[in-house]
Every structure is written in structure tokens, then in C-alpha cells.
Amino acid sequence: MRSLSGGQFQQVWRSSPQAFDGSIMIASPQQLLHGSGSLRELPSLVAGKVLIVTDPGIVAAGHVARAVDLLDDVVVFDGVHENPTESEVAKCADFARSVNPDVIVGLGGGSSMDTAKGTLFLLSGGGRMSDYHGHGKAKGEMLPFIAIPTTAGTGSECQSYAVLSRDGSHEKMACGDSRALARAAILDPDLTGSMPLGVARLTALDALSHALESAVCNTSTEESRAISFSAFRKMEPVIGAVLAGKATVEQRGEMLLGAALAGQAIEASMLGAAHAAANPLTAHYDVVHGRAVLTMLPSIMKWNSQVVGEVYQRLQPDLIAWVESLRGHAGLEPVTVSESDIPQLAQEASKQWTGQFNPRPLEVEDFEKVYREALLLA
């Protein structure tokens, strides 16, 4: 790390991996600007007309106005919705074509980032987002993209995938290409202070799950695991304060950096069965993603312990029990489902994309077992 602007924030350059308890450890073309006040560096990262992609809540919080005040030529698309669909991304792309930007800035949570990245695909190649489902299907050069997260959760600012919902169904589509990775991400904890406590809790738990699942997935490498461990080491000391609603700016900054590193870990490896099992709960029971993942994570970790228990031990001796305790600290009630729905949930979980990367495979009947262990049945 090296200090810029009189030490008010830090520019983080990642180099070769170090020990698993290290700080920030990977080779990447992406630049991270981290620290209170780092939003002020936005003008140095852009040139020409800037399109900010965001949502009404971020506008109401005043964050868009702060960014706009820093720029000379800027337009705003504030029509982002939670869990964006491919048709909603198409609306953003239509708007972008009408204003002809030189650079796109995603400002907000994961939905803003995903909408911005999806817009990059459509501007460069046309068609629909379903045409880009998978990896490496982008066409042509993409506009420069700058990511500015206002939540410490998804890590989308450090991923080349846009995760969107297919029109007319609950199916999640991951559309990825290395060209869609943000050239820079601004990690300013001043922007996360407006999060409601419930949002801060669930995004923090989501970020933690990213570090834990990416650390053990079957595509992980020594380098990717170093990133996962670094993310965990950033988040572990501060997540209690975040869940209690007592985090300082400095602690929010550590959480934000940990979430970004966890996003890097996903980019370098992948996720696992906790996310595969969580998605059907969100689709059928409207369980918020962070709550759904944390509900399933301890049971999946127990399942995985037969093959990756040593990795969990290196992170923390009583890791699974500690993760289970976080539900209470976050004030989360158990998730209740109808027992008759378990077979369908398990069938859908077995078809989720991330499940194939779990270190210990699960068949449909295995998902049924972990659902029965993790959920309250009505």
C-alpha cells in the first residue's frame, strides 16, 4: 500500500500472493482506492462524458449528488432495481445509447454494479443479456468501467460477471467477460454509513460467505485461497461491530476492503453449495440473499468438513460454531419452509451453477438433508 493525497486514503496495488494470513495479495489489472474521502479521486479516473448507473435509494442518500459535483460532464441513470432482470438492463443500455457516454460508473450495491456491467455487454455487442450467459461471450471493446460500492457485501466491484435474472423466470444468469472488470474501484467507507442496519448486517454476512466458500471450492488455487484468507482476516475482527451497528468509519473501511477482496476471490475461484442452496429460498420464499446464505452456510460447511476441514481450521479453530453464532448477533430468525417443498428446493439447488464448484459434491438427496438440518419445517 502507499498513501496518496496527504495520507487521507490508500491506493492498493496487489502483487504476488503471500502467506494466507497476509494483507492484500494478488496480481490484477484492477486499481483499488481505499479509505475515507477516496471518492474525491473519481475525476482522476475518468475522461469525457460520464454515465452514473445507480438506484433511487442512492440518490436519496445524497451519494449521487456528491459524485456529480466532482465531475464536469455527467448524466445519471437512476432506474436500477434490486435483482435486475435482462429487460431492466436493456432499458439502461437504451438510455446509454441516447447519451453516448465515454465511461460508465456503477454507484451503489450489487444491483447497480450488475446493471452497469450488463450495459457494457449490450453497448458493445447488442442483443439480449441471455446471449452472454456464461463466460467470454462479449463482442467488441467495452467502455471503461469504474465501480463505487455503497455496501460491503457483494464484491461485484471486483468481479467481471453481471448476475441478472432471466425475464419471465427465477433463473439467475451469470454473464462474465474479463473486459467487464472495473478498471478501478473506489472503496470509500463514508458511502456505507447510510446503510440501514438490516442491510449492513446482511451484506456483511454475504461478504463473509464469499470468503469462506471461495476458500474451499474445487477450483481454488494457492493464489486464490490467499485472497480468500486475506478477505476473512479483514472482516473477522470487525464484523461483530458491524452486526451490532457500532462500526466506526475505520471498521467500515476494513469491512469494505474485505468484501472487495472476497469479490476478487470469487473472480479467481468461485463459490459453492451454500449459494446454490440459498437461491431457491430467495426465489420461492423471498428470503433476502444474505440471510438465505448464512442460513445454509453452517450445514454446508459441516458437509464439506470431511474434505476441507483442515482449511477451516486454519481460518479459525471453531469456525463453524462461530459462523452459527453470527445469526444470533445479526438478529436473524430461522427460516421456515413447508416440508412438502423440500424436494423441489433440493432439485433446484442441485441445478444451480455454483453447486458444481463445491469441494464435496451434493446430489439431490444430499441437498434435502442439509435443508432439513438448516431450516424449520412447517
pLDDT score at 28: 55
Angstrom CA distances, 164 to 128, 179, 267, stand at: 12, 17, 17
pLDDT score at 20: 29
How many beta carbons lie within 10 A of that of residue 168, not counting itself? 9
Are residues 93 and 118 in contact, defined by beta-carbon separation less than 8 angstroms? yes
Angstrom CA distances, 182 to 94, 157, 245, 307, 311, stand at: 21, 7, 30, 35, 30
pTM to 2 decimal places: 0.89
Rounded distance between C-alpha atoms, residue 175 and residue 131, angstroms: 9
Residue with cell 476441507: 308
Helix H or strand E segment including 187: strand 184-187
Encode 68-80 in three state secondary structure: HCCCCCEEEECCC
pLDDT score at 202: 96
User: Residue 126: exposed, middle, or buried by beta-carbon count in 10 A (0-12, 13-18, 19+)?
Assistant: exposed
Rounded distance between C-alpha atoms, residue 355 and residue 368, angstroms: 14
Q: State which fold the 2-191 domain adopts.
A: Rossmann fold (3.40.50)
**Each residue's pLDDT tens digit, 239-260:** 999 999 999 999 999 999 999 9
Angstrom CA distances, 226 to 156, 208, 261, stand at: 19, 15, 10
Nearest-5° Cα angle at 49, 46 to 52? 75
Q: Estimate to the nearest angstrom the gap between the alpha carbon of 191 and the chain centroid.
A: 16
pLDDT score at 376: 94
**Domain map (residue ranges) of the chain:** 2-191, 197-377
Are residues 204 and 189 in contact, defined by beta-carbon separation less than 8 angstroms? no
Residue of 228, 218, 266, 229 lying closest to 362 (CA atoms):
218
Total residue count of the chain as it appears in this document: 378
Amino acid symbol at 221 = T
- Classify domain 197-377 at the CATH superfamily level: Dehydroquinate synthase-like - alpha domain (1.20.1090.10)
| Tens of each residue's pLDDT in the chain, 378 residues | 222 222 333 444 332 233 323 333 344 557 999 999 999 999 999 999 999 999 999 999 999 999 999 999 999 999 999 889 999 999 999 999 999 999 999 999 999 999 999 999 999 999 999 999 988 999 989 999 999 999 998 899 999 999 888 887 767 788 999 999 999 999 999 999 989 999 999 999 999 999 999 999 999 999 999 999 999 999 999 999 999 999 999 999 999 999 999 999 999 999 999 999 999 999 899 999 999 999 999 999 999 999 999 999 999 999 999 999 999 999 999 999 999 999 999 999 999 989 999 999 999 999 999 999 999 998
**Each residue's pLDDT tens digit, 291-330:** 999 999 999 999 999 999 999 999 999 999 999 999 999 9
pLDDT score at 7: 31
pLDDT score at 83: 84
φ, ψ of residue 31 in degrees (nearest 5) = -105, 135
